[in-house]
Amino acid sequence: MLRFYLAGPEVFLPNARALGEAKRALCADLGLSGVFPLDAALDLGGLGPREQGRTIYRADVSLMRRCDVIIANLTPFRGPSADVGTAFELGFMTALGKPAFAYSNCAESFIARLARFSPSGLHRRTDGQWADQNDLAVEDFDMLDNLMLHGALAEGDLFLHQAPAGRELTDLTAFEACVKAARRLIA
Amino acid sequence: MLRFYLAGPEVFLPNARALGEAKRALCADLGLSGVFPLDAALDLGGLGPREQGRTIYRADVSLMRRCDVIIANLTPFRGPSADVGTAFELGFMTALGKPAFAYSNCAESFIARLARFSPSGLHRRTDGQWADQNDLAVEDFDMLDNLMLHGALAEGDLFLHQAPAGRELTDLTAFEACVKAARRLIA
């Protein structure tokens, strides 16, 4: 049975485990094995904080190596872009040659999000590039986030769904579409 | 000669090329070959925006595969965490088994940064976890960013330097310390 690594910032939610179960159940209905990062049963007792973090890191890396596909939740997290942990995992699985699929519960374009996070809006730099209030270039490639993330996707695009306010990290509409497409393409 | 891939959000600066040259010169002084993401000479003429983005993605992936080590600039970028493109590249190189080193020009702890970006500060959730204003857990592992990023570092830590205001993406103090440590450990 194909193993899907379910990456995303929902691990930070109070109900992370329940959401993980819902994602796994959805995969199971499609004949797939969903692997949620919290699935590793870890004994962190007696470890200092740094060593706890390292132990979780090693467990997640080990889970990724034993999965066949990554489904990354690239919903913006604490800023205009995706969660950095998820970005790391997307890069990791891509380098291993494992197919990568992604979704976002925010349907707003990247450039619109960047404009919203730039208090004075965007402007044209003297080199012709669009830039934010710190004169940092904003990418204008018709992509849904940084080009390294978008470039890695097998489908060439994200699966998008505008989740209702408050459900940005819990809505599974786009997740389901993404998993079904991945299954159709590779299972 | 060992090839160091120089990842970081400074590619978005107006003077990105000059900064890349400064980083490469510093590597050359140490007998190393520094490879900056903009080094790929690309002809993007006639391509639509999406295909331009993909072409840059493929060029950067190809540069990474031909490098031996990654030096990642994990200075916070448009939020409390590192640039997602750099996080992707750190994951990519880690999966290939290439040693990863990193630095940040912000010496503030991750938890202090998260508190600063959370308008009402941090609080203890009912499950005992520290959390931000959206009740999303903040990591408390004595690490400098998301544990996947910090966990990947060969040195087990970032090289830190508090850059003066306005020089957060251009100061090379921590970069130099990081490259020297990497050279000592693996060259």
The tokens for A150 are 């978008």
Q: Which of A90, A50, A149, A42 is nearest to B95 (CA)?
A: A90
Cα A115 from chain centre: 21
Per-residue pLDDT of B25-49, as tens digits, reads: 999 999 999 999 987 778 898 999 9
Could you tell me which chain A residue has the CA closest to the CA of B49?
Answer: A141
What is the arithmetic mean of pLDDT over A52-73?
96
How big is the A-B interface in CB pairs under 8 Å? 185
Could you tell me which chain B residue has the CA closest to the CA of A166?
Answer: B134
Per-residue pLDDT of A68-109, as tens digits, reads: 999 999 999 999 999 999 999 999 999 999 999 999 999 999
d(CA A45, CA B167): 41
Q: Would you say how long chain A is, in residues?
A: 187
Burial of A166 (C-beta count, 10 Å sphere; 0-12/13-18/19+): exposed
Q: How does residue B111 score in pLDDT terms, banded at 50, 70 and 90?
A: very high
**C-beta of residue A162 within 8 angstroms of C-beta of residue A109:** no
Partners of residue A140 in chain B, C-beta under 8 Å? 49
The reply to whether residue B78 touches residue A81, judged by beta carbons under 8 angstroms, is yes
Answer whether 0.90 is exceeded by the pTM: yes
**C-beta of residue B81 within 8 angstroms of C-beta of residue B147:** no
| 15-44 of A, contacting B, C-beta below 8 A | none
To the nearest whole Å, the CA of A166 is away from the closest chain B CA by 9
The reply to whether residue B139 touches residue A91, judged by beta carbons under 8 angstroms, is no
Buried b (16+ CB within 10 A) or exposed e, A98-136: bbbbbbbbbeeebbebbbebbeeebeeeeeebebbeeeb
* Helices H / strands E in chain A, number of each: 6, 7
Per-residue pLDDT of A19-49, as tens digits, reads: 999 999 999 999 999 999 987 778 898 999 9
Cα B154 from chain centre: 14
| 125-164 of B, contacting A, C-beta below 8 A | 125-127, 129, 131-132, 135-143, 145-152, 156
d(CA A71, CA A153): 10
Partners of residue B93 in chain A, C-beta under 8 Å? 91, 95
**pLDDT of amino acid B119:** 86
Helix (H, G, I), strand (E, B) or coil at A130: strand
Asked if ipTM goes beyond 0.95, one says yes
The reply to whether residue B50 touches residue A143, judged by beta carbons under 8 angstroms, is yes
**A58 at B interface, C-beta within 8 A:** yes
Q: Is the pLDDT of residue A154 over 90?
A: no
The reply to whether residue A142 touches residue B48, judged by beta carbons under 8 angstroms, is yes
To the nearest whole Å, the CA of A11 is away from the closest chain B CA by 8
**pLDDT of amino acid B155:** 75
Q: Which residues pair with B3 in a beta bridge?
A: B33
d(CA A1, CA A35): 12
**pLDDT of amino acid B157:** 79
Could you tell me which chain A residue has the CA closest to the CA of B94?
Answer: A92
